[in-house]
Amino acid sequence: MNVFVDTTGYFSLLDRDERNHQAARQIWQRLLDHDDVLITSNYVLVEMTALAQNRLGMAASADFNNTFVPLAKMVWIDAEIHLASVTALLTANRRQLSLVDCVSFEVCRRLNIHNVFAFDQHFEEQGFSLLSV
């Protein structure tokens, strides 16, 4: 199964104080045990690196980049996907929705990915399935 990995999934894995940490660990282990194909984007990589650095410190940022990033297939966002995502963001006109979210939705649609490792309800609003314990 192809699974898109969002920032909220990664962050919940890294931060032991995060309310979804235990669920994230269980889901992550199941993904690894089943040899699911993990897919993310360079926009998630940038967002997650900055978030880990800011909230958890450089060691957590390094852990993310050295341990978790190599396990996922990286989708490098081109101008076409970026512009489609900006259009979606501006059309939605919602402050709580981010450009990275819109890029992730676009990647999932283009790659026909339905399952997402995330704790962000925006994915469900867009018709994707969030993995659960």
pLDDT the model gives residue 102: 98
Cβ pair 119, 8 in contact under 8 A: yes
Return mean pLDDT, the chain: 97
Cα(70)–Cα(86) distance, integer angstroms = 28
CATH fold of 2-130:
Rossmann fold (3.40.50)
- How many C-beta neighbours within 10 Å does residue 99 have? 15
Cα(41)–Cα(49) distance, integer angstroms = 12
In b/e form, how buried is each residue of 53-62, taking b as 16+ CB within 10 angstroms?
Answer: eeebeeebbe
pLDDT the model gives residue 105: 98
Does pLDDT of 133 surpass 90? no
- In single-letter form, the type of residue at position 117 comes to F
- The domain ranges of the chain are 2-130
Does pLDDT of 29 surpass 90? yes
In this prediction, residue 25 has a pLDDT band, given cuts at 50, 70 and 90, of very high
Does pLDDT of 39 surpass 90? yes
pTM here is: 0.95
pLDDT the model gives residue 56: 97
